[in-house]
Chain A
Amino acid sequence: MVHIKNHKALIEASRAVLVVMIALVIGFVITALVSKEPVRAYAALLTGPLPKVSFAHGVEITNLNRFGNWLEESTTLILLGLAVSLVFGARQFSLGAEGQLLLGALAAAAVAVKMPAPFPLHLLLALGAAGIVGFLWGLIPGLLKAYLAVDEIVCTLMLNVIALQLFDLVLLNWLRDPGASFLGTASFPASVVPPLLIPGTRVSWMLIVMVAAVLGVWFLMARTPFGYALKMVGANRKFAEYGGINARRVIALSMAVSGILAGLAGAHLSLGLLKRLTVSLAPGLGFEGVVVALLARNDPRGVLVTGLFYGYLRTGAQIMERSSDVTREVVLIIQAVIILLVTAERLFPSFQQWRRTRSDGGAIAIDRGLGG
């Protein structure tokens, strides 16, 4: 039976690869429509993030910063992908990662600026603050959905709007450095900036935090009773309740735990990448987690792979933009195509027909009603 399971996983993986290939081809066609040198542009997209190794004068590695960009980008995306995979796994359509990310970044910045402490402690406090704020901001829609049946889509979208305003409010009124020439905090003290792993890049200890998060979520889902309960609630909530699982608690917690991960993604943005906080921080990034989780079919190990892939694509797109006449937004088009292909059951029937209850409940009820 292990054999069968692996076989299935293989099919799933090859389907994911196929989807990505099709999307890339479509992306190329679109690039070719607007670019004078589409091949060069696409080559930059697909190979840009790789470091260049030259053997002319001994071993020399150049373009390491591009490689670093890839890992930095992927760290954020993987954390967001993990966040989304948890709520999607419980079949909750929470779109709140964006707001949780913003407030996580804000909380980390607040600790960085307002609570001086020695090095490892300061960083841990900042990460903790980001995680807790993300947790709480996820708990709100979680509780409202679980106990009051408030629609999570509208609720989280509204909470995103509130978070955005809260972000500006706190940043501009309490954290802003009045001496700075721009709207933002002062540079963070060294005690709160995660140390670098690869010199010459911004790849820091946050990479390790990210890998730990992947392992943690995998363990949570595969090896804890909570993970089992979450999976069953996602598979069939009525069944879970019938079996004695407290589905409400699971739903509330899934959204809250998801918030921790989104909050950490925010901390990575502010502590690891920017090293200060400014207004208009990465709008729309929260939705990027959706494509990562979708392509990985909510499996945390898959999130690691798809997050790296998607980070690669985004980094490559930035390089392409700098070195050719095509903007990086072509990646968004590729992303949209991936989402459509992944969810198109007709094209790829064995991709799980997930969230069917929501979109197609009526038809199923008919089948069952006349099933005699």
Chain B
Amino acid sequence: MSLEVVLQSIFSAAFIATVIRVSTPLILAGLGGLLSELGGVLNIALEGVMLAAAFTGVIVSGLAPQWLPGAPAWLYAGLGALAGVSVGMAMGWLIAFCHLELKTDLILTGLAMNILAAGGTVFVLFALTGDKGSTASLASARLPAVQLPFVNHVSFIGTLLNGANGAGYHIMSYMALLLVLAIWLFLYHMPAGAHLRATGEAADAAQSAGIDIRQVRYRALVASSFCAALGGLYLSMGYLSLFQANMTAGRGFIALAVVYLGNRNPAGVLLAALIFGAASALGAQVGTLAIPPQLVEMIPPVVTIAALILYSIRRRARRAAAARGFQEQAAAGWSADAARITDAALDGDPQSTAPGTSPSKSGIVEGTNKIQKGR
């Protein structure tokens, strides 16, 4: 296959559809990471929550026909999803409880949850099915795709809006987009969103404003886990229709990177998740060329680190520029300033005793205050 063919396939509607498919769990888990990060309680257990939810969804939807024979199929899928989300949220609550009540370290608690999910899913899987690898033997339900009507006969648009097979995108893909909007609205236009951000940014300020920061943090972790659980459900009840041991394969950690690459806002999370998804989809495409797919898969993590570095360098550069400006100003103006201080003081005009500071008169005091706060 030639490069041309690959490029053609990349700039096709089908490729875009693939990217959306691959990105969906990253968007969902990324939003989960965002909510926890903005609340000041970074949820490092996204990975474990996804895994546990994916597992629970499959098991419950697969076993539901035994419990409720004869019910419609959508009910089994729905029960599975409900159970998966519940388990995910319960894990979020447990993290919050351990961290806020038992005072465990947040990061280590998250790691423990990841280990618990990795071990617990396989443990229960084996106990229920006698298989340690996957639930292939269990007929589990899928959550539905949503097919948009009337567009399939338009070739490009049809593929773009309903995916390569025309069946439509998975309900969780729509959920992901909906949540991006909903969370944006929540964070910047709803009181509870403001409380969440205030808690993460300045917990003492939030507390003094009468916000119950403990409750906010509980909710942040539970909501965060809710989003991650949806991402996990997508993996086992959409992307695939079975559970495999460790099927999240690090997506929960990628989701954390998505939060930072996305500059800690919902739109950024969407974009960053799509970048990761695109690289992943591209890696699958270039396999046919001489380009090793691993190289392509490395791009997003490299970009994430590069973004972190760039952000830091930009901050430093601003400071260096300020220092240079200050030095030039000092070299040029101090002798004259000193004279002016004396004159002004003699004139008894206190307003002009701070020459050269005109852009921010109280800059000195203000800056000091910042340092003190930082301590």
Which positions in A face B, CB cutoff 8 Å? 30, 34, 93, 144, 148-151, 153-155, 157-162, 165-166, 168-169, 172-173, 238, 283-284, 287, 290-291, 294, 326-327, 329-333, 335-337, 339-340, 343-347, 353-355, 358-359, 362-363, 365-366
Contacts and interface: CB of A to CB of B under 8 A. Distances in A.
Contacts of B124: 34
Nearest to B123: A329
Contact of A332 (B120, B132, B301, B313): B120
Contacts of B156: none
Closest 5 CB pairs of A and B: A332-B119, A336-B116, A34-B127, A362-B203, A339-B112
A283 B118 CA distance: 11
B194 interface: no
A154 B308 contact: yes
Given A165-B294, A169-B294, A333-B123, A327 B132 contact: yes
Contact of A284 (B105, B118, B203): B118
Nearest to B203: A362
B302 interface: yes
Contacts of B106: 359
B308 A144 contact: yes
Contacts of B101: 346
Contacts of B68: none
A343 B309 contact: no
Which one of B109, B119, B132 has the highest number of Cβ atoms from chain A below 10 Å of its Cβ? Answer: B119
A347 B107 CA distance: 18
A327 B126 contact: yes
Contact of B204 (A165, A283, A354, A366): A366
B250 interface: yes
B115 interface: yes
Nearest to A343: B104
24 contacts: A34-B127, A144-B308, A144-B309, A148-B313, A151-B308, A160-B250, A161-B253, A161-B297, A162-B302, A165-B294, A169-B295, A172-B292, A327-B122, A327-B127, A329-B122, A332-B116, A332-B120, A333-B119, A336-B116, A339-B109, A340-B109, A345-B103, A362-B40, A365-B375
Contact of A362 (B109, B119, B202): B202
Given A144-B309, A157-B256, A327-B122, A344 B102 contact: yes
Which one of A155, A284, A287, A340 has the highest number of Cβ atoms from chain B below 10 Å of its Cβ? Answer: A340
Contacts of A327: 122-123, 126-127, 132
Contact of B298 (A166, A294, A345): A166
B66 to A, nearest CB: 18
